[in-house]
Structures are given as C-alpha cells and as structure tokens.
Amino acid sequence: MSNPAQPKAFPVSWDQFHRDARALAWRLSGQGQWQAIVAVTRGGLVPAAIVARELDIRVIETVGIASYHDYKNQSELKVIKTVSERITELAGGEGAGILIVDDLVDTGKTAKVVRDMMPKAHFATVYAKPMGRPLVDTFVTEVSQDTWIYFPWDMGYAFQPPIHGTGG
C-alpha cells in the first residue's frame, strides 16, 4: 500500500521531454502569429528553445520568477527579472501576440504573476497540474497535483527502485 503523503514520482528523460516539447509546438502551430516567446526561467528555457525552433520564432525574452527556493517547497514568489519594455510595446502593452512558455504549471501562482504582466498573451506549458490548469491556454500532459516531476536537467543517471516491492 502506498503512502498518500508521499508524492508520486514522474521522472522525465531528455528524449521524453524533447518529444513532449515538440508536441507542444505542434499544438501551438497555426494558433497565432507569434511575435515573440517569453520563457519563464529557469524551467521554461528548454521548452522555449524547442518551440522557437519548431515554430521559427526568433525573438525570445525571459521573465524570472523564483518560487522553489529549496527545490521541493514553494515559498514566496519573487520577480527577479521582468519582461523588457520592447517586448511589451511590441505586443501593445498587454501581451497580444506573445507566447509564454514554461515547463510546468503547478499551483498556478507563478502563472498568475506572469499573466498579470501580459494578460492577452498565450500561455503554454509542457505539463499541467489541476490547480494551475485554468491559467494555461495550451499544454501537453496533465499530471495529478500530488505528482513531483523530475526534469532531466535536475537528475543524473542512477538506479530507479521499482514502484512496488523490492523486485527481489
């Protein structure tokens, strides 16, 4: 029997993440004439690069929001870098024609901060959890709120124990 207090682990390999980010680009193709991408750093950098390549978008900006200060627990949000005025002016001040890309929407707190900056932008994430899902326009895979996603840039190669039992 599993421990309900322990989050479910969802390890994502580089190959899987690349496939999922390309799937995100495929879903976004034809949805708009994107003038620029705004990547939510740091997690949004990798999918933003893949989406930019697939959709031939050359203008890429970042917005820095820190929410996980110890890699496990969300704490107070800090805007550490805002979007440049050039990008917001390009988009008429409210984000129309801008594609915001992040790896994951979890509780939606980060997404809300970014949405407030650019309310008319299109928000896309590779993965979405139920609490943050309403703030995202496009995503690829929904995971349960109690799932912890282990992204490939956060992991090294190591033995993974089986989900159930000792395997012996």
List residues with catalytic annotation.
Answer: 102-103, 106
CB atoms within 10 A of CB 140: 19
For residue 88, what are the contacts with CB-CB under 8 A and spacing of at least 6?
94, 95, 117, 118
Angstrom distance (rounded) from CA 21 to CA 103: 9
Angstrom distance (rounded) from CA 155 to CA 152: 5
If we measure between CA atoms, which residue out of 44, 47, 14 comes closest to residue 155? 14
What string of DSSP letters covers 90-128?
HTTTTTTTEEEEEEEESSSHHHHHHHHH-TTSEEEEEEE
